[in-house]
Amino acid sequence: MADRQPENLLILFPELASSANGNPGWNRTHVVQTELETPPFRIGSPWISARLDSWLEIAVQDVGADKDARGAALLTQLARARVGGSFWAETPKLPRKANVLICLPGAVAEASRMLQTVLARHDAARVVVLAPTTIVAAQAERLGCAAIIAPCDPWPLLDCVDEIHVGGETPIALLALATGKRLVCHAQSAFSGWGVTEDEPGVPRRGTRSPGALACAALLSAARHADPFHGRASSAEEAIDYLAEWRRLSEATRGIGCVFGIAWWKRREVMTLLNTDRTLTLDNTATVAVDKARAREGAVLAWSSLISADLTEQASKANVAIWQVEDGFVRSVGLGANSTPPYSLVVDRRGIYFDPSRPSDLESILQETDFSPSLVARAARLREALIRQRISKYNTGDCIAHPRRAAPGQRVVLVPGQVSDDRSVVLGGGAIRDNLALLVEARQVAPDAWIIYKPHPDVDAGQRAGIVRDEDAHRFANEVVRDISMPALLDEVDEVHVLTSLTGFEALLRGRRVVVFGQPFYAGWGLTEDKAPLTRRSRTLTLDELVAGTLLLYPHYLDPVTQLPCPAEVLLERLEDRSLWVSGPRILARQAYGQLRRILGLR
């Protein structure tokens, strides 16, 4: 386990704030991480779990049977989340026939004896050695074993083997208990001698404990846990949930060889969120990006709008994959067109959510995921919070009530404008390519409705194409609104008619009828009225299953306070604190530029 000292040490151990406690055992040098290790993030890595190095042995001896059930539940949660140890590290390359894992100690003599003992019983070709040093790894390879130098993701190792041999304290021991694999101890450790391990001669028997009791000792009795986002103590269950979010991020970013085409004003946020191993590079030259990705045997992760024919051609010739990255659906406070950086991103290996010509990772999630009851319940809570806090993608405009001007009983239809050259319109809009044509279609579908047209904020800010003059809009719309926030507007309408706009998804969250003329990601799941159906989407989803896939399983979020990857719920909390979202000189300058373009008619 890592021995670096974190910034949040005093949250885990407030006793260390004062030397007056009189306990000589309280020493910073004796504090270690538990098996629940924190990834080495680009900007700080606060510990999520820690203990004093002497606590585990004491806790195992003292733990009672009354906590066995909670400990067993923690093991199940740990195995389901696939966290613990260096879970964020690279996936090891494994021999096809391996079924035995040896976790060797660092001392060469001890490692040699342990290797000889195991290889007397097993074919070396079927043994994988997790070695702490290159010297120990070389020794294992000379004997015919496959050797991996830590750190690596331990879960692929645990998946392929039937038994694990350990030579001392290691996070792998607890993970082995979580998977139910045979665990053989070659030296005394906290978990040896209690009847759940097979112990080599010389390892003393000490009593009987269940795997749940041992987990309870390791993660409850002997451990302290910290919430890295709120600066307070937390439970073991909460700690594992946070690690599960970081696991999801590590899996999405694992395999990236180079990052391409990130605008200068959002590089810090994008690279902070993506760069959990601190080694990714950012390039804006296609040749350099492809060469770096090929050297790392990875993909080029490119901002979707900047994937050029040159990049595509060079990547194809080099047999390098291109993955896409884009803004998430709950992004920040402020417009991207005004250089407001994103605090939510999606990384897509198959396509991208707004391109219906081929499946995306999001479509695959929605089509294939078996949504658990707990995930659906979490999605329902998130949906309710989005509505209660009136949160949308950009969170601009005033959240004042919009007066209803329609006649009594007349249905009110909202038509949100879009950026006409936006890729979601170009790729998913079908025959409709501009906002005026969308208004024409909406009026044909709803001839007697009161239609409200809201221009896209980027267009109205003078930054993007898609202007419809008010006099032209009024030929089909009864009303044109601008400075009303989308959540406030959605409160007043009965239905929404969209091309591919995210507003259709936000309307679904609020139970509004949604008529779709294009093929956005949220269409085709039985929740919208589709004028251009996409037959590839064959599953009927509940609203909260759609929310779970779209807002919990697909995007990744960055906490603007700690600069740590965070769950969606944490970003929602930060969006409520408007003091965190004060516009700086860069954003103010972009806003002034857009206003000048609007005055001059340069849109």
Q: Please give the full DSSP string across 360-424, using - where no structure is assigned.
A: -HHHHHHHH----HHHHHHHHHHHHHHHHTT--SS--SB-PPPPP-SPTT--EEEEE---TT-HH
Mean of the pLDDT values across residues 280-308?
Answer: 93
- pLDDT value of residue 181: 95
Task: Let me know: does 115 contact 129? Beta carbons within 8 Å.
Answer: yes
Percentage of the chain exceeding pLDDT 90? 68
The mean pLDDT of 216-234, rounded to a whole number, is 95
State the pLDDT confidence band at 381, using cuts at 50, 70 and 90. Answer: very high
Residue 302 pLDDT > 90, yes or no?
A: yes
For residues 222 and 63, what is the distance between their CA atoms, to the nearest angstrom?
A: 10
pLDDT at 582: 55
Task: State the burial class of residue 352 (Cβ atoms within 10 Å of its Cβ: 0-12, 13-18, 19+).
Answer: buried
Q: At residue 69, what are phi and psi to the nearest 5 degrees? A: -65, -40
Confidence band of 338 (pLDDT split at 50, 70, 90): very low
Q: Is the bond preceding residue 565 a cis peptide, omega within 30 degrees?
A: no
The DSSP symbol for 578 reads: G
| CA nearest to 417, candidates 385, 442, 397 | 442
CATH 3.40.50 fits 404-559, yes or no: yes
Mean pLDDT of 482-493: 87
Asked which of 298-307, 372-381, 586-595 is least confident by mean pLDDT, the reply is: 586-595
Whether 461 has a pLDDT exceeding 90, the answer reads no
Per-residue pLDDT tens over the stretch 462-480: 767 778 888 999 999 999 9
9-66: per-residue pLDDT in tens? 889 988 887 654 555 555 677 889 999 999 998 888 899 999 988 889 899 888 876 7
pLDDT(336) > 60: no
At 396 the pLDDT is: 54
Contacts of 395 (CB under 8 A, 6+ apart): 332, 333, 334, 485, 575
Q: pLDDT value at position 579?
A: 78
CA angle 555, 560, 565 (to 5 degrees): 45
559-573 average pLDDT score: 94
| Of residues 545, 546, 473, 536, the one with CA closest to residue 504 | 546
pLDDT greater than 80 at residue 525:
yes
Round to whole Å and give the CA distance between 75 and 179: 8
In this prediction, residues 429-438 reach a mean pLDDT of: 88
Name the average pLDDT for the chain: 89
* Mean pLDDT of the region 285-311: 94
Half-sphere exposure of 389 (CA within 13 A, CB side): 20
Q: Are residues 224 and 50 in contact, defined by beta-carbon separation less than 8 angstroms? A: yes
pLDDT at 123: 94
Average pLDDT for residues 261-276, to the nearest whole number? Answer: 87
Model pLDDT, residue 488: 86
What local confidence, expressed as pLDDT, does residue 577 receive? 84
Give the C-alpha distances (Å, rounded to integers) separating 135 from 102, 115, 140, 154: 15, 13, 9, 20
pLDDT for 423: 85
| Spans of all domains in the chain | 1-92+152-253, 404-559
What's residue 587's pLDDT? 47
> Does 75 have pLDDT greater than 90?
yes
